[in-house]
């Protein structure tokens, strides 16, 4: 089985997860594109935005047909998110140098930094999903300013890392927006669609800042399988508890995040064996 075949199977799984729990699957897209297809972090985050945005749009439509989308809250959270998505893709990402820091033979590249941050976000979000309150609905007044503030953070996360942010959006809509879990999932998919596609479009419109060529054939294959997955997931969603799925997926994301974190840290320290030998000899002398 080739790496491309594995990557396309992963696209199906990503779509399935988006359809089932309204988010979470997108956080796997960047690792799939980097580890299985060898794309750079910047290119992978851009591809991820398009793949996730297209898949989420189909899921959002199915949730909307079932009356499980709150457009008012999607605007409260989504508009600030759009602002920070644009800021991240058009301003912040192009300013990040390819080499962030260099010490003797050890080099911290932008790709390495992106993946380390991504792994940390995966671990944090997985713990939130595992410890989440399932389908329990918080009570009390809705806080539009709380949603707007969360939107700024979510947009920055989407723009920088290429993740839809459903693992943050859904709990925010449930416990700040006071939406039931199924409605939070549908609303989350609307926000993910807009943020992700807007982020990808920002890259295309700022072509002078883009250092890669889009492989549309590969991208569309990914999208097609993700769409199949999200349609299947949306159907299964009617018969499965969202809270239980979120916990199971949380454990999966935790394992993946820890794997990426350990693997990248090993790569980091293996870059400078001379420095490690010097440090070890220094410790022995002490």
Closest Cα partner for 115 from 3, 259, 221, 279?
259
How far is residue 84's CA from residue 117's CA, in Å, rounded to a whole number? 18
- Is the pLDDT at 167 greater than 90? The verdict is no
In a domain, 268, yes or no: no
Residue 279 lies in a domain: no
pLDDT surpasses 60 at 277: no
Q: Looking at the chain, how many residues does it have? A: 286
> Dihedrals φ, ψ of 191, to 5°?
-65, -45
Residue 198, domain extent:
3-98+111-253
User: What is the per-residue pLDDT for 164?
Assistant: 64
- Is the pLDDT at 280 greater than 70? The verdict is no
Q: What is the mean pLDDT of residues 188-214?
A: 80
How much of the chain, in percent, has pLDDT values that exceed 70? 79
Give the pLDDT band (50/70/90) at residue 266: confident
Reported as a pLDDT band with limits 50, 70 and 90, residue 273 is: very low
Residue 160 falls within a domain, yes or no? yes
Asked if the structure places residue 278 within a domain, the reply is: no
- Residue 263 in domain: no
Domains identified in the chain, total number = 1
Structure pTM?
A: 0.72
Q: What is the mean pLDDT of residues 180-205?
A: 85
Domain membership flag for residue 29? yes
Q: Bigger pLDDT: 15 or 50?
A: 50
pLDDT at 243: 67
- Decide if 121 is inside a domain: yes
Residue 236 lies in a domain: yes
CA–CA distance, 138 with 148 (Å, rounded to integer): 18
């Amino acid at each position: 089985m080739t790496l491309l075949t594995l990557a396309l199977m992963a696209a199906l799984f990503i779509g399935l997860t988006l359809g089932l729990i309204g988010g979470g699957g997108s956080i796997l897209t960047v690792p799939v594109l980097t580890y299985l297809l060898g794309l750079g972090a910047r290119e992978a985050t851009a591809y991820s935005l398009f793949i996730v945005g297209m898949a989420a749009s189909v899921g959002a439509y199915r949730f909307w047909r079932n009356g499980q989308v709150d457009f008012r809250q999607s605007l409260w959270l989504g508009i600030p998110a759009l602002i920070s998505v644009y800021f991240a893709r058009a301003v912040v990402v192009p300013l990040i140098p390819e080499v962030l820091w260099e010490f003797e033979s050890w080099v911290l590249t932008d790709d390495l930094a992106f993946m380390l941050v991504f792994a940390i976000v995966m671990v944090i979000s997985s713990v939130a999903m595992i410890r989440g309150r399932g389908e329990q609905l918080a009570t009390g007044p809705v806080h539009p300013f709380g949603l707007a503030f969360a939107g700024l953070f979510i947009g920055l996360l989407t723009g920088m890392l290429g993740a839809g942010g459903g693992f943050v959006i859904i709990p925010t809509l449930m416990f700040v927006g006071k939406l039931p879990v199924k409605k939070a999932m549908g609303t989350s998919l609307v926000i993910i669609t807009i943020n992700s596609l807007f982020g990808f479009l920002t890259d295309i419109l700022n072509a002078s800042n883009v250092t890669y060529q889009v492989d549309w054939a590969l991208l569309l294959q990914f999208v097609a399988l993700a769409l199949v997955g999200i349609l299947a997931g949306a159907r299964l969603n009617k018969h499965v508890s969202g809270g239980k799925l979120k916990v199971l997926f949380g454990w999966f994301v935790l394992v993946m995040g820890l794997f990426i974190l350990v693997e990248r840290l090993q790569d980091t320290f293996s870059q400078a064996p001379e420095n490690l030998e010097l440090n070890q000899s220094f410790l022995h002398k002490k």
